[in-house]
Chains A and B, each alone.
Chain A
Amino acid sequence: MLELLVSGFAAIFTDPLAISMVFLGVMVGIIFGALPGLTTVAGLSMFLPVTYVMVSHVGLSMLTAIYIGGTSGGLISAILLNMPGTPASIATTFDGAPMAKKGEAGKALGIAVFASLVGTLVGVGVMIFASPVLARLTLKFGPWEYFTVTFFALTLIASLTGKSVIKGLLSALFGMMFATIGLSPVDGTPRYTFGSLQLTSGFHLLVVLVGLYAIREVLLTASSKQEPIKVLKYKMKGLGFGLHDMAGNWINLIRSSLVGLGIGILPGIGGSTSNIIAYSVAKNSSKHPEKYGTGIPDGIIASEASNNGSIGGAMIPLLTLGIPGDGATAILLGGFMLHGMQPGPLLFQQNGDVVYSIFAAMVLGIIFMAVLMWSGMRMFVQVLKVPNHILIPLIVVLCSIGAYALGNRVFDMWGLLLFGFVGLMMAKFKIPAPPFILGFILEYQLELNLRRGLEYSNGNFWDVFTRPISGTFLALTILSMVVTIINNHKASVRELKEKKEGTA
């Protein structure tokens, strides 16, 4: 492992193209993260076609750099505009904006960048050392184990996103329906192709992802009210803060990074949830919880350390099992596949060199992120002023290139439009999108392993219960569903009671 890690670092740190692409990626990511309404996913979708012709380790390094930059960039608008640039920075606004209003914007920015740096380092550090170990463990998986892990991930995401478990499950099954279009696993029988040759290969993962996330995102931003942006004034000397500002916050910093890491590992809920959970954990364990929300560094540290900690967390299931942790890692999964690699246990064996190069690129990305944010804040603040009416059409054009270039066919562009529409409808009817994406991604694995498992066991499904790993995951699936249903029921009863008290 150490040998591969060293060669990975050598491959990135001695390659000027890789270094410049990581630099560019981080910069693009920060810009997309900072612009309210546009997220990391839009940035990744826009720059995906640029990586098509790059060698795999450079292209994927650039994408991961965008991911790092995008997660951190949200802090700029959260502090200076009181608007989270991405959902991962929602909790940063709670204390960041009040600090800026008190004239401490420079300090708030400096502390937020530092917390982002530590959070990302903790997450990526754990990822570097835990992923190969987990990958070795998953090598022992047979079809039943894969089937139950995938099933567990699907039910987990369906129950964790949104308020209704049923709607989450319906969303996952809806995604699975689209995934069954094309040739079936095992025997390659055409399904739902209606005689169309283009439908035989089904919808490409990237078409679904870019349509559902990026096209929907830009269309919603396009149709929302465009308020003139008022950037709060700030002064930032050096790092913007001193060590005394961190007093009493070191435990908060590490704990929040670990909260982010843990939540990032769970499928579907990355930085967008971890920042809020880490904020409330920090507040509940603070000696002065009443000060939270009034403009103290503690809140900023909790939010930024956790959302960045989720980066490494979300990468772990992606690399070891091929299960993406959030929208951005789902695009990364598409990026891996475009470069002829299938994330999962065999990735470390077959493409270990590329994986370790990506690890090195992530470390480099973290350094670039901190340096760029500390030294180039003025430039990023200027970018906030770029009007949406220039940016949004440009993103659509670049996303369209990405879709078209997948197979040089307009069919994939129609797919973008279709899934953009599906995404909009899901947003309108409050159906969570992450289960849909995971359902679409995992259907093939789920079906393939279920059918293989049944073939190996001569049609005996009960084998799944008798094997320790698959049995454990099935038990976890049932447990997570039961716990979620009970919690939802409790919340519903509580809501009814509150209404009753309100009317009394």
Chain B
Amino acid sequence: MNSDTKREVQIGIFFLVLATAYIIGTFGISTFTPFGNRGLDSRSIPQLIGLLVIILSIAHIAQVLLREKQVKALLENEQEADTLVCDEDEVACIQPVKGTIIERLDRVFSIKLLLSFVYLTLYIAAYQPVGFIISSTGFLIAESLLLVKKEERKRWRTFIILFSIGASVLIYFIFTRYLTLFLPSGILG
């Protein structure tokens, strides 16, 4: 099975499992038909969606496997090329290579992407208790320093710190004073 087929089969399996769990979930939905059952209740559509997903995921797996079989028959004598899976933007790649854990991880998902996710998670967690200004300043500094090129980090550091503080304070005052939105003040409040 080549890497493209594997990926497509994984998609099919994911949707199959998801739809099964989703259909099981429908049994927890209470039904209410005060005017008599005229075909559908609040459980029907989710059940229909789940059923369609199951049918389509099985069809997807079957289609992919059938196609793989056809291609294999065509390329019988050909050696399979290197198994490198990359998405369109080459952000996420999988390659069976040796190297440090970080190097391997970087090939599956960009480290910058993973760290951006971690920073975003921490930012959201701190948003309410710590407050908008401090959490945003922290996020802006951390994310900007992460994204700036290593060799330019030193040059940008002071600017990034000052810009992050300035931007957070300015945004807070614009939104709370002039646009009358509520933003958490947290420990500064």
Contacts and interface: CB of A to CB of B under 8 A. Distances in A.
A224 interface: yes
B88 A396 contact: no
Contacts, number: 189
Contacts of A387: 148
Interface in B139-189: 139-140, 143-149, 156, 160, 163-164, 167-168, 171, 175, 179-183
A191 B90 CA distance: 38
Given A49-B175, A223-B112, A451-B40, A176 B143 contact: no
A396 B29 contact: no
A223 B46 contact: no
Interface stretch (A11-19, A373-381, A496-504): A496-504
A454 B32 contact: no
Interface in A402-435: 404-405, 408, 410, 413-414, 416-417, 420-421, 424, 427-431
A220 B89 contact: yes
Contact of A223 (B53, B113, B149): B113
Contacts of B40: 450-451, 454
A317 to B, nearest CB: 23
Interface string B20-52: 001001000111100101111110011001101
Interface residues of A, number: 71
A405 B112 contact: no
A459 B75 contact: no
Contacts of A446: 45
Interface residues of B, number: 76
A381 B44 CA distance: 55
22 contacts: A169-B56, A170-B57, A177-B22, A191-B46, A219-B116, A223-B91, A223-B116, A390-B144, A392-B143, A393-B144, A396-B123, A400-B123, A401-B171, A401-B181, A405-B183, A410-B124, A410-B128, A413-B127, A428-B87, A430-B87, A455-B38, A492-B67
Given A450-B40, A455-B35, 17 more contacts: A174-B15, A174-B53, A184-B29, A187-B41, A189-B31, A190-B29, A222-B112, A390-B163, A401-B181, A427-B89, A429-B11, A431-B11, A454-B38, A454-B39, A459-B37, A461-B39, A496-B70
